[in-house]
Amino acid sequence: MNFKSVLEQLNIRATCKQYGLGLWRCPQFLFLLMGLVIIVTALVTYFLGTRYVADPDTVSLIVLILTIILFVITFSMTRSLEGLAEASRLKSEFISIISHQLRSPLSSLKWALEILISGRFGKIEGKPADYLQILADNAKRMGELISSLLIVSRIEQGRFPLHKAGFSLINLAEEAIAEFKPVAIASNIEIVLETAKSNLPQAFGDSSQLKLVVENFIDNAVRYTKGAGKVAVAIAFQNDKLLFSVKDGGVGIPKEDQKHIFQKFFRSGNVLKYQTQGSGLGLYIAKSIIEKSGGKIGFKSEQDKGSTFWFTIPINKK
């Protein structure tokens, strides 16, 4: 091991960034912190020992044994955490590589399906046309899943920058509602936009990433509303921030599942019961985007009565 590699090992921040972890979750930082705790513990033990134990050799032995025990425990725990962090890093890299590799053939498949469905090489009708449409729908779902996996991978690796600027949250919401309106009408669901004021201040954040959050909220509200219903999208100015919310009268979330709702790949039990499609990544991505944007995210829900998901976002003060 040369001097340069030793310096790299001592650069705790760079090592933690390599694992895609914050300082308080990084094994090397925790090892350093526990080392300081061991030193303080040894000094306190020595001070108390010299005060209450007459034999200085006994005091030194007690301090030495205690220090060794604490060091061994700390080293074992840190090595275990380091192994888990390395496994997590390799998993994220694997997902990122596989997702990138799947994108190209999937794009070719979607392009070929679009050409066949368009009828450029002859009109396709009946069962063959239905099968092609099923393939196109599933290719679209696969594309969305790959995009979600890539975003999750970037978030975990700390490579998910936000390009913040002022933008109209109302306009963004109107665009998202327009995209989901055909699906909502087909499901006999009405989407309405409710705003307390027409002259709301601009939001400050990455509009392209926040649109993913807005679309996820509306998509979930429409998807989990069974039968005819209404989805209310609201924007208000509250406590120097913009509050965005989506309320539905859908299946709701069981109380025991609510604490897991923002975890990766988690899907509520009643959602599985209704066999609703989804990857369980949307809300995890939404939470990451909102927190990186300087806002908060949350929800309130009651099973079989509906849910309200909300987030806050800073306003543009420039």
pLDDT (tens, 9 = 90+) of the chain, 318 residues, equals 455 554 455 566 666 666 566 666 677 777 778 888 888 888 888 888 777 777 777 878 888 888 888 888 877 777 777 776 776 676 667 766 776 677 777 788 888 888 888 877 778 888 888 888 888 888 887 887 888 888 887 887 777 888 899 999 999 999 999 999 988 998 899 999 988 666 789 999 999 999 999 999 999 999 888 878 899 999 999 888 999 999 998 888 888 888 989 988 787 766 656 656 667 888 999 999 999 999 999 999 988 888 999 999 999 886
**In this structure, what are the phi and psi dihedrals at residue 27, rounded to the nearest 5 degrees?**
-55, -45
- Give the 3-state secondary structure of residue 239: coil
Confidence at residue 196, expressed as pLDDT on a 0 to 100 scale: 65
What distance in Å separates the CA atoms of residue 278 and residue 271, rounded to the nearest whole number? 9
The SS3 of residue 120 is: coil
The continuous run of DSSP H or E covering 166 comes out as: strand 165-167
Token pair recorded at residue 201 = 């201040």
Task: Specify the pLDDT at position 241.
Answer: 92
The DSSP secondary structure of 204-220, one letter per residue, reads EE-HHHHHHHHHHHHHH
Burial class (CB in 10 A: 0-12, 13-18, 19+), 290: buried
Q: Within 10 A of 56 (CB to CB), how many other CB atoms are there?
A: 11
Complete DSSP assignment for 122-148: S---SHHHHHHHHHHHHHHHHHHHHHH
Domains by residue range for the chain, with CATH? 1-160 (no CATH), 165-314 (3.30.565.10)
Task: Indicate the SS3 state at residue 285.
Answer: helix
Torsion of the alpha carbons at 76, 81, 83 and 85, rounded to the nearest 10: -160
Residue with token string 């209310």:
232
Residue 275's pLDDT is what?
Answer: 57
d(CA 110, CA 107): 5
Task: Using DSSP bridges, classify how beta strands 203-205 and 241-247 pair: parallel, antiparallel or unpaired.
Answer: unpaired
What does the pLDDT read at residue 245? Answer: 95
What's the Cα-to-Cα distance from 274 to each of 140, 279, 281, rounded to whole Å?
21, 15, 18
By DSSP bridging, strand 241-247 and strand 229-238 are: antiparallel
Q: What is the 3-state secondary structure (H, E, C) of 262-283?
A: CCCCCCCHHHHHCCCCCCCCHH
| Partners of residue 170 on adjacent β-strands | none
Question: What gap in Å lies between CA 267 and CA 247, rounded to an integer?
Answer: 19
Q: What pTM was estimated for this model as a whole?
A: 0.68
CA-CA distance, 202 to 314, in Å (whole number)?
A: 9
* Cβ–Cβ < 8 Å for 222, 191: yes
Task: List Cβ neighbours of 180 (8 Å cut-off, separation of 6 or more).
Answer: 191, 215, 218, 219, 222
Is beta strand 189-195 parallel, antiparallel or unpaired with respect to 229-238?
A: parallel
What's the distance, CA 213 to chain centroid? Answer: 11
User: What Å distances lie between residue 88 and 81, 85, 92, 156, 209, CA to CA?
Assistant: 10, 5, 6, 9, 25
- What pLDDT shows up at residue 315? 92
Indicate the length of the chain as a whole number: 318
